[in-house]
Chain A
Amino acid sequence: MDEATARTTEGESPTDDCESESASDEVERAPDATAAAAAGGAAGDDADAARARAAVYGLLAAAFDGDHDTLAGALCDGTLADLAVRFPGDADGGALDRPDLDAEGLRVGYDNLFVVPGPHYIPPFASAWADDPSESFESDSPYHDAGAAGELLGDPAAVAARSHAAVGFEPERGDAIPDHLAAELEFMRALCEREAALLADASDATDDLVAVRERQRETVGRLGWLDDFHEAVEAEDAVEGVFAALARLARTFVAWDAQHGIAAPDSGTVPPQ
């Protein structure tokens, strides 16, 4: 019995903040998994994988967008802990296993790490991590370190915005900053869902599939800054560690996805007869 199931049978205190509806639910399969499985074969596998990847991206996007209710739920019921444990190198598995955590605490933690430009700020968007012009960027803020965390809406934001625009994507997450982590993760979610939909669609969608996967590859290619980002969050979020662990998970997952998750361009398609 996997850990998630074990926990749900232990029963929880009714005063717990953890009131996720799924807390006592049985483990369920993702809704469309059945349909995709019915499609069979590699396409079905790819579709499952795409949906699974979409779910993870969506969850991480919510977490980095300050969607505290979703995050609290996922921490509470162990979803995130389970996920994290699957990836190599999760040394501190406990950080994401937080049935005790309240939404307010999460909110303050999130705000001070990713929104409030004060002493704990780790800007969660690519432009701030770009080398150029970051090294010489001047800020009016006394909290800004020289040579670090430069621009808002720099070139990486322009690139992200163009990429989103090319496929008609308008992010709802990420505080209107195109290269915000939440926006890009949301973008990946949408791309993965699109991939899954294309795979479920019986008609020949090869060109579209190739395009969508190429777009996914291009997007994760823009997330190289997550390494530095994670290290910075880990250094700052040293006490509670929830966001440090989330950053690690994001970094690890994205790296995994780049290597293993994104399917070959024509994977799962009907080979030419």
Chain B
Amino acid sequence: MSTDDSTDADAGGTEDEGPSLTRRDLVKAVGAVGAIGAASAATVNVDTDDLWADNTEHYVGDDYGEYGASDVIHTTCGQCNTFCPIKVRLADDSGTGEYSSLVRKLAGNPYSFLNTQPFSQVPYSSDPEEVATGDVAGSGDVDADRWSLSGGRICLKGQAGIQTAFDSYRVRKPMKRVGPRGSGEWKTVSWKQAIEDIVEGDDDLGHPGLRDLWGYAPEDEVMDDWEAVQSGELDKSAFDEKWGDALIDTDHPDMGPKANQIVDVGGFRRNFIRTRLWHQGLGSINSVHHAGTCGFSSVMGNVRSHAAQKKRQYPDVENCEYLLVWGTNPMVANKGPTWLAPKLTNAIEDGMRMDVVDPRLSKTAEKADTWVPVEPGADGALALGMARWILEHDRHDVEYLRNPAESAAAADGEPTWSDATHLVLVDEEAGPKARATDLGLVPADHELADDFVAVDASTGEPRPASEVETGVLDVSLTVDGTAVRSVWSLYRDRVFEHTVEEYAEMSGVSADRIAEVADEFTSHGERAAIMAYRGPAKHTNGFYNTRAIATLQHLIGNYDWKGGQITPYAGYSTMSGRYELGQVPDGHSPWGIPLLRGGVNYEDTTLFERDDGYPAKRPWFPVAPPQATQELYGSAADEYPYGVEALFIRPYSNNHVMAVAGGDQIPDILGDPDTIPLVVASDTVIGETSKYADYILPEPTYLERWENFGTYPNKRLADEKISQPAVEVVPDSRPFEEVLIDLWTELDLPGVGEDAIPDADGELWPLERAEDFYLKLAANIACDREPVPDASEEEMRVFRESHEQGLGDSFDLDRWKRAVSDEEWAKVVTVLNRGGRFEEPVDDYADRFAEHGHEYDYAERFDDSNAYDGDQMRYKLGSRVDFYSEVVPKGKHSYTGERFDPLPRVDDVEHYDGGVQAPVTDDGDPERPLRLINWKPRTQGMHRTTNSPWLRETRPQNPLWINPRDAEERGIENGDTIVIDAGRRTVEGVAMVTNGIRPGVVGAMWGWGRSGDGAVEETIDGETRGPVEDDGHTPYQFDEPMTEEAGLAKGRDAGFAINHLQPLDEELSDTGLSDLVGGSNAQYDAFVEIERT
């Protein structure tokens, strides 16, 4: 290396040809550059002292690094819908503060009883410093045991959260499309520009602004005038004149205000975005979450089977003797495997028998005593078959069933009772249950006028149910000329419509097996339970399947008993207490027919007359909330019940193109700006759905924002989690609720800005940033029941330091403090330092924990358990359970006008027009012989995007499981490349031949199948290239499944998108089939043929 510039440099740069440039040459060349380059003012200051000082010592992989509470923030995971409480261990020494901290590791939150299962959590009062270093007395000793409870469990998806946040493909700036929707070209714009365009409209793209689109008027005023029009008191033209600006259609005022045409889609932050901002701020009824593409029918099936809130089915695992897992996979999926898997494993070790009903041998089924491979969609038949066997053998709990009301139940020491003895007015159209006044038993103003009626066993007379100690089960009577029958007799008749052999035939499960399972289920008193979820639900008959399963538990009355069915909706107050977060001063009341047509009968609307009655153009869901998301795009395209003018999507948990059965139809609809004129997505990456937006706004990932997710009712104690920002990775990202605050402020809508949130005293507080809401929520949590203690000075310090480290310059402690009162702040810090509030299993927990340690089931072992109340659960359902739902028949099928069924039943899987897609009641004649099912893989949370999960080395794509019998018939061997023909689409896949799936059924995991590059024609910089011929075609070698071949993950087009193989509804053709009662879309009802390539 010479200092002599004039030396001819023959050692060139990276290129070989030509003489190399000398420094003098450069000077000459640059002379012409002048001052152009020096635009930025950043300078360096080389101080001699810092000269060689490189303060960081470069270790490679040190021992367990010591860290403290100031390096930890507790928040909630967002990698799947379980939302485990987690601990974020911030990285040491991440840099100068140009960006906030990095994450060193994620683990479970040791304060939470969820992620410490099967052990007990650290006491809530534990010093965060001691928790972080694993020094809490009783939590184990790293030096001695090489283990301590300084971190809880977390699954592999959770661990990958670091990659979610620190992803080079994060959207970093607001983006506006250049060219047609979905064309893949964008330009970045400022936030100011984006907000302005969304509010005022944009001429470039030609889309309207919210200001033009919005209109609102209160329902009572409109409807009063409408009535006046009907009665001739008011001129229609005057009505049109008055309400034309506010209403969607003055000929159909029941559609509601124009605000309804501004639609929000996004699973979470519902209390904030849906309740406050959308409903009361904007006045729009249309804030949609993912229910229809998820377990909606399961939720509704459970809701209609119990009087008090119960949407899910879970057992008290620790004491359960017989668990029937039905169509769910708690070892790996469900909500959440982090605690369910260890609990179930230990329970099995302790002697619990677990059987699993599932067409395939899932991980949970592998651990079962008996695997029951049911025919997909025929779960209702299996359940009713079990019911028939139970009734025939008198194995139902007659004493339980004969309690007509709470009083009788309490006398028997039962926390719940059933409607078995209640009388039904069978001649009335919707078959409602009889009330005491209906049968003339008491006068109309009597306090028991509304009581149900049961026949008193001691007198043989019908009486108000609360006055009856023991009812008669089989009743068929006429009372005062009114025909009545008991629920039990109706249920029994329903069950006896088929023999056990017939049910066996329908469900594909032998009569012997049905008997065995039913026998076992009724041999453990109340210590038997069912855990069911999406398997039976994701069919058009999913609601009835779920009802059939739920009612099995009515037969043994296991609710609220140790070892039985649990219903622990147990948390801490979030939306009210110190602050009424759901209240918007001068807020709007949303009204009108929801876009997704839930909660209202078609014939009760003005559309009925307009469209000449039945059939309705698209499905209505009269007895379910309007959350059949799968109908959204087709409804927009059909403008039914009305068009969508603006759609705001948060694809996190709502990546519809991938998650909706038939979602491959969505791009055509979304891609057309005439159908939905304005589409705004708030996303962390450009996904399969957000790529069709007009604007993509950068969202923070779950590690960077606030949230409050509930825990599923599969726990024994109360908890409330709070998610808080732990790091800030993309400085320009903004949580969508803050963007909405800006938009609503521009539009002068209520509930944002000053005077937005009332406290308990009626004082109004401002709402400008997300923390203004969530810190108050934390205050509500902190002060509920017995308020948490104030944070000590030490804890205040830890709070400040950890947040400064994680959030850097964007953490404004003073601003956070101003969101609540000073007294509340001290308690908020306590809650935030722990990531929420987690009930302890017993009193004096800290002392006992120090004595007995973490490996002790306190809730079981001590009498003052917070989980149990003697032999019962502390958190109870405590209500009536229903064989018969009188709500359901109020709904009518919008194609035929027929009422829905109040009882469980067996049904075929049907298209909207009644055409059979998958027969259950008979063999039918499906077009292709193999039933296609799918399931949540271990490694994916939801269809947020479809990129392969991080264990692709062991699972490079989603192989298709196929039984050896079916494989042999087709000459297919394990590992063969195959073509999967679903009729309207074919894709390529690879076969995994296994006995672990029912013959006649094939299936794969969802979560694969990119629709990007190559799937459609693309124009890049003026050059167009055509689509690839075969969807999902991959030009590379697949691994042979089930061989332990580790290695690098495969290429990006691995696998196929299973929802794009689902059949489209025959009548609708733009989306898949739906369950009109429960609202789920059908995702396990495709029929395919497989061929070797």
**A56 near B1013 (CB under 8 angstroms)?**
no
Within the assembled complex, what's the spacing in Å between the Cα atoms of A116 and B1050? Answer: 24
**Per-position 1/0 for B811-849, Cβ under 8 A of A:** 000000000000000000000000000000000000000
Pick from B11, B21, B684: contact of A140, CB below 8 A: B684
Enumerate chain A residues within 8 angstroms of B806, measured Cβ to Cβ.
none
**Which residue of chain A has the shortest Cβ distance to B186 in the bound complex?**
A116
Partner of B1021, one of A48, A143, A186, A240: A240
Cβ-defined contact, B949 with A138, below 8 A: yes
Query: Are A147 and B1048 touching (Cβ within 8 A)?
Result: yes
| CB <8 Å contact, B947 and A140 | yes
Q: Contacts A86-B29, A108-B187, A259-B20 known; list 15 others, CB within 8 Å.
A: A22-B36, A28-B32, A55-B38, A74-B36, A87-B15, A108-B185, A112-B186, A115-B188, A121-B169, A139-B947, A140-B684, A158-B102, A161-B98, A172-B42, A255-B14
What A residues does B684 contact at CB under 8 A? 140
User: How many angstroms between the C-alpha atoms of A70 and B35 in the bound complex?
Assistant: 11
Interface set, chain A 48-93, CB cutoff 8 A to B = 48-49, 51-62, 66-67, 70, 73-74, 79, 82-83, 86-89
B33 at the interface (CB under 8 A from A): yes
- Can you give 13 A-B contacts (C-beta < 8 A)? A27-B31, A83-B29, A88-B19, A89-B15, A128-B168, A140-B945, A142-B688, A142-B1052, A144-B167, A149-B168, A164-B98, A172-B40, A190-B44
A39 in the interface (beta carbon within 8 A): no
When A152-B166, A178-B95 are in contact, do A227 and B14 touch as well, CB less than 8 Å? yes
Q: Is the CB of B31 within 8 A of A28?
A: yes
B188 lies within 8 A of A116 (CB) = yes
The 7 A-B pairs with the shortest beta carbon distances in the complex, nearest first, are A58-B37, A89-B15, A161-B95, A59-B37, A141-B169, A239-B1021, A52-B30
Is the C-beta of B360 less than 8 angstroms from some C-beta in chain A?
A: no
Q: Is the CB of B42 within 8 A of A170?
A: yes
Flag whether A99 is at the interface (Cβ < 8 A): no
Q: Knowing A111-B187, A142-B947 touch, does A190 contact B43 (C-beta < 8 A)?
A: yes
How many residue pairs link A and B with beta carbons under 8 A? The number is 360
Residue of A nearest to B43 (CB): A190
Contact call A138/B947, Cβ cutoff below 8 A? yes
Q: Is the CB of B94 within 8 A of A158?
A: yes
A146 at the interface (CB under 8 A from B): yes
Q: B9 at interface (Cβ–Cβ under 8 A)? A: yes
Q: Among residues 1027 to 1065 in chain B, which have CB atoms less than 8 Å away from a CB atom of chain A? A: 1048-1052
Query: Is residue A176 contacting chain B, with contact meaning CB distance below 8 A?
Result: yes
Q: Is the CB of A146 within 8 A of B948?
A: yes
Given A107-B187, A194-B46, verify A189-B38 contact (CB < 8 Å).
yes
Q: Is B27 part of the contact surface with A, judged by Cβ < 8 Å? A: yes
Q: How big is chain A's contact interface, by range?
A: 35 or more
- When distances are taken between beta carbons in the complex, the residues of chain A under 8 Å from B687 are 140-142
Check A141–B686 contact: CB distance below 8 A.
yes
A127 and B56 CA atoms in complex are apart in Å by 19
- The minimal Cβ–Cβ distance linking B813 to chain A, given in whole angstroms, is 21
User: Which of B167, B729, B1051 has the most C-beta atoms of chain A within 10 angstroms of its own C-beta?
Assistant: B167
What interface size band does chain B fall in?
35 or more
Of the candidate stretches B172-180, B425-433, B606-614, B970-978, the one touching chain A is B172-180
Interface pair B168/A55, CB less than 8 Å apart = no
The distance in angstroms between the C-alpha atoms of A189 and B1052, with both chains bound, is 39
Whether A264 sits at the interface, judged by CB under 8 Å, is: yes
User: Would you call B952 an interface residue if the criterion is a C-beta within 8 Å of the partner chain's C-beta atoms?
Assistant: yes
Point out the residue from A149, A175, A251 that lies within 8 Å of B172, measured CB to CB: A175
Least Cβ distance of B655 to chain A in Å? 10
Contact among B9, B41, B164, B729 for A260, CB-based, below 8 A:
B9
Would you call B170 an interface residue if the criterion is a C-beta within 8 Å of the partner chain's C-beta atoms? yes
Q: Which listed segment binds A: B47-55, B415-423, B504-512?
A: B47-55
Cβ-based interface call for A202 (8 A) = no
Contact of B38 among A58, A161, A238 (CB under 8 A): A58
Contact B14 A143 (CB under 8 A): no
Interface centre among A82, A166, A190, A239 (most CB of B within 10 A): A166
A234 on the B face (CB < 8 A): no
| Complex: A145 Cα to B160 Cα, angstroms | 17
B685 touches A260 (CB 8 A): no
User: A145 CA to B938 CA in the complex, in Å?
Assistant: 22
Nearest residue (CB) in A for B102 is: A153
Chain B residues, CB < 8 A from A152: 166-168, 170, 729
List the A side residues contacting B95 at CB < 8 Å.
157-158, 161-162, 165, 178
Interface membership of B851, Cβ < 8 A: no
- Of all chain B residues, the one with the shortest Cβ separation from A253 is B13
Chain B interface residues toward A at CB < 8 A: 1-3, 5, 9, 11-27, 29-48, 50-54, 56, 93-96, 98-99, 102, 160, 163-164, 166-173, 175, 178, 184-188, 684-688, 691, 729, 731, 944-950, 952-953, 1010-1013, 1018, 1020-1023, 1048-1052
| Residues in B neighbouring A211, C-beta threshold 8 A | 46, 48, 51-52
How many angstroms from the CA of A160 to the CA of B1021 in the assembled complex? 34
Chain B residues, CB < 8 A from A147: 1048-1049
Is A167 in contact with chain B by the CB < 8 A criterion? yes
Q: Are B947 and A141 in contact (CB under 8 A)?
A: yes
> Chain A interface (Cβ within 8 Å of chain B)?
2, 4, 22, 27-31, 33, 42, 45, 48-49, 51-62, 66-67, 70, 73-74, 79, 82-83, 86-89, 107-108, 111-112, 115-121, 123, 125, 127-128, 135-147, 149-154, 157-158, 161-162, 164-173, 175-178, 186-187, 189-191, 193-194, 207-208, 211-212, 215, 227, 237-240, 251-252, 255-256, 259-261, 263-264, 267-268
Q: Closest approach, in angstroms, between the C-beta of A3 and any C-beta of chain B?
A: 10
The 8 Å CB contact of A119, one of B36, B45, B952, B1013, is: B1013
A89–B21 alpha-carbon span in the complex (Å)? 12
- Beta-carbon contact of B17 and A117 below 8 Å: no
> Does more than half of chain B's interface fall in helix, strand or loop, or is it mixed?
loop
B22 touches A260 (CB 8 A): yes
A153 and B47 CA atoms in complex are apart in Å by 27
Asked if B43 and A193 sit within 8 Å, CB to CB, the answer is: yes
The winner among B2, B23, B1048 for most chain A CB atoms within 10 A is B23
- Shortest Cβ distance from residue A240 to the other chain B in the assembled complex, whole angstroms: 6
Complex: how many Å from CA A267 to CA B2?
Answer: 9
Could you tell me if A117 and B21 are in contact, using CB atoms closer than 8 angstroms? no
Q: Once bound together, how far apart are the Cα atoms of A260 and B587, in whole Å? A: 69
List residues of chain A with CB within 8 A of the CB of B32.
2, 4, 27-28, 79, 82
Q: Which residues of A contact B1023 (CB under 8 A)?
A: 239
Q: Which of A33, A169, A238 has the most CB of B within 10 A?
A: A169
CA separation between A255 and B173, bound complex, in Å? 31
Contacts of B40 in A (CB 8 A): 58, 61-62, 171-173, 186, 189
Cβ contacts under 8 Å, B186 to chain A: 111-112, 116, 118
Among residues of A, the one whose C-beta sits closest to the C-beta of B658 is: A142
Known A-B contacts A61-B37, A149-B168; A256 and B21 likewise in contact (beta carbons under 8 Å): yes
- Asked whether B188 lies within 8 Å of A52 as measured between CB atoms, the reply is no
In the complex, chain B residues whose CB is within 8 Å of the CB of A137: 163, 950
- Check A83 against B170 for contact (C-beta < 8 Å): no
Q: Which of B3, B27, B172, B1011 meets A263, CB within 8 Å?
A: B3
Contact status of A239 and B1022, CB under 8 A, knowing A49-B23, A144-B947, A211-B51: yes
Query: Which residue of chain A has its CB nearest to the CB of B17?
Result: A88
Q: Which chain B residues lie closer than 8 Å to A176 at the CB level?
A: 98-99, 731
Q: Are the C-beta atoms of B1049 and A146 separated by less than 8 Å?
A: yes
A111 vs chain B, min Cβ distance (A): 5
Instruction: Give, as a whole number of angstroms, the nearest-CB distance from B934 to chain A.
Output: 19
Q: Which of A59, A139, A157 contacts B33 (CB 8 A)?
A: A59
Q: Closest residue of chain B to A150, judged by CB? A: B168
Task: Decide: B691 and A118 in contact? CB cutoff 8 A.
Answer: yes
Q: What's the Cα separation between A28 and B1050 when bound, in Å?
A: 55
Query: In angstroms, how far is the closest chain B Cβ from the Cβ of A142?
Result: 5
B20 touches A88 (CB 8 A): yes
